[in-house]
Amino acid sequence: MTDGPEQDQWRGLHPSARTVWGLAGVAPIALFGLGAGIALWLLAAPAWAAGAMVVVGALATLWWVLIGRRWRAWGYAEREKDLLIRRGVLVRRLTIVPYGRMQFVDVKQGPLARALGVSTLQLHTAAAATDARIPFLPDSEATRLRDRLTVLGEAHAAGL
């Protein structure tokens, strides 16, 4: 493929994405499993309780594997005239945002993101259906990318 960026030009998300996504799924699994295990133990079914713990452990392990795949699937690449954003494990998506079509670039950061030192970069275009965002960027990279995209967007919009 000559029109896409080479593999080494893709940049990924901050490793904290794996931790946050992983804990968001494992916490409910663990709480449900713990509750089921205690309930089965109290009902004098220790073998069933042990079985429930094995199932919960297997589900949690599977979740962590899937989160690793999800984390690796996210990426972005800066090209001469546009920004590429890829994501998705089962359903893969590639969003191409021409610099000249950007209206503004937004950097968001909630309390958890602030504690982790990451931000989400949101690109706004005239198309309402465009879901151009890059989560879990290190703060310095989000600022650099916001400033760069703003300059490129103004330069390419002036050329229209």
- Once rounded to an integer, what is the mean pLDDT over residues 11-33? 90
Task: Return contacts of 91-96, CB within 8 angstroms, 24+ apart.
Answer: 95/130, 95/131, 95/132
Alpha-carbon torsion, ordered 150, 156, 157, 158, to 10 deg: 110
Looking at residue 98, its amino acid is P
Whether the predicted pLDDT of 27 surpasses 70 = yes
At 70 the pLDDT is: 94
pLDDT band for position 23 (50/70/90)? confident
At 8 the pLDDT is: 56
At 160 the pLDDT is: 55
At 4 the pLDDT is: 59
Please report the DSSP string for 84-109 in residue order.
EEEE-SSS-EEEEEEGGGEEEEEEE-
* Domain 75-158, architecture per CATH: Roll (2.30)
pLDDT band for position 101 (50/70/90)? confident
Where is average pLDDT lowest: 45-49, 83-87, 137-141? 45-49
**pLDDT for 60-83, tens place per residue?**
899 999 999 999 999 999 999 999
* Number of Cβ atoms within 10 Å of the Cβ of 152: 20
Beta bridge partners of 83: 78, 97
Q: What are phi and psi of 75, to 5 degrees?
A: -175, 165
At 36 the pLDDT is: 85
In angstroms, the CA 12 to CA 70 distance is 11
- Domains of the chain: which residue ranges? 16-71, 75-158
What does pTM read for this prediction? 0.80
**Cβ atoms of 49 and 37 closer than 8 Å:** yes
How high is the mean pLDDT of the chain? 87
pLDDT band for position 134 (50/70/90)? very high
